[in-house]
Amino acid sequence: MKVAVIGGGPGGYVAAIKAAMLGAEVTLIEKKRVGGTCLNVGCIPTKSLLASSDVLEVVRDAKNYGINIDGTIEPDLPAIMKRKEKIVEQLVKGIEFLFDKKGVKLINGFGKLVDKNKIEVTKEDGSKEEIEADKIILATGSVPIVPPIFPHDGKKIITSDEALFLEEIPKSMSIVGGGVIGCEFGQFFSKMGTKVTIVEMAEQLLPFEDKDVAKQLERSFKRDKIKMLTGQKINKCEVQDNKVIAYLEGDKTLEADIMLVSVGRKPYLENLGLEDLGIEMEKGKVVVNKNMETNIKGIYAIGDIVDTPFLAHVASKEGLIAAENALGKDKAISYRAVPRCIYTGPEVAAVGMTEKEAEAKGMIYHVGKFEFRGLGKAQAIGHFQGFVKVLVDDQDVIIGAAIVGPHATDLLAELSLAVELQLTAERVGDIIHPHPTLSEGIMEALHDVHKACIHAV
């Protein structure tokens, strides 16, 4: 069985390795570097930058822990960027090493569908190569959305792609969009010393999360002196005298050295050949069935090009499923418990339904909540802002959860498992949680569902 994968991101490269492990002869086509957006200009590099800003904050705050540090403490952006690139390079090489060991053939070039079993690859030197395959998996990912009112030049008006390669710390930055990308970059540059203003059309940051979650993050941003303009819309934008001027509703203007546009991403399907093959599309995305297969038998699509959450871990899971189904299995994905993670300080993590969604569906639900400041471990490490919140239905089944606070993204795993397995608050809350840990906050929140929380007033 020959399997070809177009796109080497977290969905594509995982699909390729899985197919090879199942015995297929696999070829992966990637126009740039393996790892895709996630590894090269997304998840990993941004977390590397945030790790540097976290260290900077810890050092500046060392006196509160009884540690005296003499001398000037300043960020070195070129060194931070160099560290980030070293991490990315190591991980890229790691994937290529796995390809070599698992028997995946890597071809660098742009892949285009010729028919249901053939791909034309255009290489960087202009030469072409045809790849034949019994099954094809499309995993071409996404690119940043830049609305026409923002004259994107990659220098003064940038996207997250260019933000990862800035050579100097800007004195001021306006960020369009208060979602995950805008919040993470906003806090990083603020800690670097940049005067940051975030403009968000919705009435809160993180528009898809509950109000109390957003408010907790907004309080932290205020302490970091990040200005937030929520419920605001930019009507026009231009560069004047080396400054970016944004014109907001109500005759307001916003001036900054650099503008970062982070209003979302869109599927990258340009020149892929979908129309010629008659692959079904809907609202700019590829339509697939529960097996991740398109309407053309033997062609699968995964990740950001299908109508599922734009998340690396979702793409990876879909890659595994597509590969297994391409090799004769019949597997489907449950999207009941898709984790949502924001790596700000405090971190934000959520899974399952929000209160807004439960209310919109007219559901009867109950909430359990516990503040991190009530935990000994949180007080000991000096990070006690935030809370754990769980939602249960009228049968006590956990249907959603949110954590705002230290290590929230790591703590979420327990509640993701609970949501997926449809466990009850009583059952999970009865588990003995280790002490002293932050995970006790989960136990306390679960107890609070039944008003049985020991450490709550």
- CA dist 241 and 122 (Å) reads 42
The pLDDT of residue 124 is: 86
SS3 158: strand
Annotated binding-site residue? 184? yes
Instruction: Take residue 179 and report the two structure tokens written for it.
Output: 């979602």
Distance between CA atoms of residues 345 and 339, nearest Å: 18
Q: What values do phi and psi take at 119, rounded to 5? A: -125, 135
Domain range list for the chain: 2-143+266-326, 157-263, 340-448
Tell me: is residue 126 an annotated ligand-binding position.
no
Calculate the CA 40 to chain-centre distance.
13
Task: Confirm whether residue 89 is marked as ligand binding.
Answer: no
> Residue 264, annotated ligand binder?
yes
142 labeled part of a ligand binding site = yes
Active site residues: 435
* Residue 131 annotated as binding site: no
- pLDDT at res. 251: 86
CB neighbour list of residue 318: distance below 8 Å, 6 or more residues apart:
11, 292, 302, 303, 306, 308, 333
Pick the CATH number of 2-143+266-326 from 3.40.50.970, 3.30.365.10, 2.60.15.10, 3.50.50.60: 3.50.50.60
The verdict on whether residue 224 carries a ligand-binding annotation is no
Whether 141 has a binding-site annotation, put simply, is: yes
CA dist 416 and 21 (Å) reads 28
SS3 content of the chain, % helix, strand, coil (to 5): 35, 25, 40
Residue 397 has φ and ψ, to the nearest 5°, of -75, 130
pLDDT at 457: 78
Would you say how long the chain is, in residues? Answer: 457
Tell me whether the CATH fold assigned to 157-263 matches the one assigned to 340-448: no
CATH number belonging to the domain at 340-448, selected among 3.30.1490.190, 3.40.50.720, 3.30.390.30, 3.50.50.60 = 3.30.390.30
Please state, in angstroms and rounded to a whole number, the distance separating the CA atoms of residues 320 and 335: 14
Q: What per-residue confidence (pLDDT) applies to 288?
A: 98
How many degrees, rounded to 5, is the angle at CA 342 between CA 404 and CA 444? 25
The three-state secondary structure class of 349 is strand
Asked whether the beta carbons of 174 and 260 are under 8 A apart, the reply is yes
Q: Residue type at 155?
A: K
The tens-digit pLDDT sequence of the chain (457 residues) is: 999 999 999 999 999 999 999 999 999 999 989 998 889 989 999 999 999 999 999 999 999 999 999 888 999 999 999 999 999 999 999 999 999 999 999 999 999 999 999 999 999 888 999 999 999 999 999 999 999 999 999 999 999 999 999 999 999 999 999 999 999 999 999 999 999 999 999 999 999 999 999 999 999 999 999 999 999 999 999 999 999 999 998 889 999 999 999 999 999 999 999 999 999 999 999 999 999 999 999 999 999 999 999 999 999 999 999 999 999 999 999 999 999 999 999 999 999 999 999 999 999 999 999 999 999 999 999 999 999 999 999 999 999 999 999 999 999 999 999 999 999 999 999 999 999 999 999 999 999 999 999 998 7
How far is Cα 171 from Cα 257, in angstroms, rounded to an integer? Answer: 7
pLDDT recorded at residue 243? 96
Hey, what CATH class is 157-263 in? alpha beta
Q: What is the pLDDT of residue 200?
A: 97
| CA–CA gap between residue 84 and residue 312 (Å, rounded) | 19
User: Tokens 């819309």 appear where?
Assistant: 233
Q: Is 424 annotated as a binding residue?
A: no
